[in-house]
Amino acid sequence: MLFRRVLPPAGVMTLSAGPVFAQGAAPAINSGDTAWMIVATGLVFLMTIPGLALFYGGMVRKFNVLATVMQCFAICCAISLVWMIIGYSLAFTPGTGLLGGLSRLFLSGLSPTSVTFTIPETVFMTFQMSFAVITPALITGAFADRMKFSALLIFTVLWSIIVYAPIAHWAWEATGWLFIKGVLDFAGGTVVHINAGVAGLVAALVIGKRNGYPAEPFLPHNLVLSLIGASLLWIGWFGFNAGSALTAGPRAGMALAVTHIAASAAALSWLAVEWWLRGKPSVLGGITGAVAGLVAITPAAGFVDPSGALIIGLIAGVVCFWGATGLKHAFGYDDSLDCFGVHGVGGIAGALLTGIFAKISVANSEGAYATVLASDPNFTLGLIEGNVQQLWIQIIAVAATIAWCAIATFVILKLIDLTIGLRVDRETEQNGLDLALHGEAVR
């Protein structure tokens, strides 16, 4: 998913996330790459349903568990159609630096023989769809227990079109302005995690605190569900990161390895800090720490070696613990399931650390930084020149993502609040969303 092909000057080989082709040569479908990408796509969908649904569902109170898992399920259905109708076209067709075109509106022109890199475009489109699905689903953790289901559906549809698709185009399509500038975002540090985290923070601020927060304890009703959900997220993340190589090659293998290393390191560093400060290492802390490590390694997975992944993971566990505890309590906002504390803080840390620890980069024909294929015989993991420049590019990408996401998310939420309203009434919130919104309850 990392990059679409950069068009080089005549006679120069193309640098891309797929195999290198000589100038003018047409790509052909590779059955091994295709098989891997179909598996990776399934793994990423597994992250939302049932992974994220169980992870979030176990952390809310019992009378809100059905409403919480239903949000993830409904978002999967709704955003899949949004992606088919307009999202894919806005994100992944050539256009301006800010937005793609409409040549794939309703997937017009997409045929079984369409090829992207060495896989059918149908597979590439569906793989990207799985990312478009999980990103707004992550946001729901910030306003758990209090948003109307109707408002949720409208918000996620509008947010996917107005926020997610443009930022995906900026970073991942060859005409996007961040792509041209040379941002390194292998699998979604800015596009997915900073985007979701910032949107979650804005949503938590706009919709307000849960009734009784922070005086009343809001204890998870079933951490076994959350542990199972986190475990499915971890497994699915192999498709998320290794699949973003878009080939079944060495880069996918390295992404797989560093993903697991970072998650393990972050889980242990979170537990260590929690044990030191609170006297006991918790199940919730361990699984949240693992997710924090997965978040932080996402933008770096195709660019760092195992040592870099270890450092990124150790840092992620500590800074996300602070984000989910110290930062939240200092400012007093109610980010129910720590969407910003984990995905926002972890995404920012990961994007910046990518600029520091990236070891696979060369200048392309426009002076920006593009990746060298792990399958290239000249592939090395030597330190690149220009990490300071790359860090500056990462800072620009982080700032731009935060700014656009925050402004657009605020406007969307305010418009919904002024029309149909964002929040359930006080009685519904106190008695639980399951019966009031869906007519069902867990007994």
Task: Give residue 26's pLDDT band: very low, low, confident or very high (50, 70, 90).
Answer: low
321, part of any domain? yes
Which domain, by its residues, includes 64?
A: 31-241+248-438
Report the C-alpha gap between 2 and 354 in whole angstroms.
Answer: 14
The radius of gyration computed from the CA coordinates of the chain, to the nearest angstrom, equals 21
Beta bridge partners of 95: 100
Inter-residue contact 333 to 201 (CB < 8 Å): yes
Q: For the chain, how many structural domains are there in total?
A: 1
Q: What is the pLDDT of residue 386?
A: 53
The mean pLDDT of 405-432, rounded to a whole number, is 96
**Beta-carbon contacts of residue 43 (< 8 Å; ≥ 6 apart):** 235, 236, 237, 238, 239, 240, 243
Q: How confident is the model at residue 389, as a pLDDT?
A: 87
Q: Give a yes or no: residue 303 inside a domain.
A: yes
214 or 404, higher pLDDT: 404
Assess whether pLDDT exceeds 80 at residue 380. Answer: no
pLDDT at 21 over 60: no
Confidence of residue 10 (pLDDT cuts 50, 70, 90): very low
CATH number for the domain harbouring residue 144: 1.10.3430.10
Instruction: With respect to residue 19, please indicate whether it lies within any of the assigned structural domains.
Output: no
Is residue 390 predicted with pLDDT exceeding 80? yes
- Which of 424, 404, 431, 412 has the alpha carbon at shortest distance from 177? 404
**Domain presence at residue 424:** yes
208-224 average pLDDT score: 93
368 close to 181: Cβ distance less than 8 angstroms: yes
Phi, psi of 424 (to 5 degrees): -70, 165
| Tally of CB atoms within 10 A around 442 | 13
Residue 21 lies in a domain: no
Q: What is the mean pLDDT of residues 314-319?
A: 98
Burial class (CB in 10 A: 0-12, 13-18, 19+), 403: exposed
CB 63 within 8 A of CB 219: no
For residue 71, pLDDT over 70 is answered with: yes
> What mean pLDDT comes out for the span 46-55?
97
Question: 12-21, 147-156, 406-415, 418-427 — which is least confidently predicted?
Answer: 12-21
22 inside domain: no
Tokens of residue 152, six digits = 């949720």
pTM of the model: 0.90
Task: Determine how many CB atoms are found less than 10 A away from the CB of residue 331.
Answer: 10
CB 149 within 8 A of CB 67: yes
User: Could you tell me which residues come within 8 angstroms of residue 108 by beta carbon, excluding any fewer than 6 positions away?
Assistant: none
Give the span between the Cα atoms of 206 and 133, in whole angstroms.
23
Residues with Cβ < 8 Å from 107, sequence gap 6 or more?
Answer: 84, 88, 89, 125
Q: What values do phi and psi take at 258, rounded to 5?
A: -70, -30
CB 1 within 8 A of CB 131: yes
For the stretch 94-117, pLDDT in tens is 999 999 999 999 999 999 889 998
- Rounded CA gap, 378 and 144, in Å? 49
Q: Which pair of structure tokens corresponds to residue 71?
A: 């949000």
Domain contains 172 = yes
Token pair 């758990």 is at which residue?
144
- Which pLDDT belongs to residue 359? 83
For residue 412, is pLDDT > 80? yes
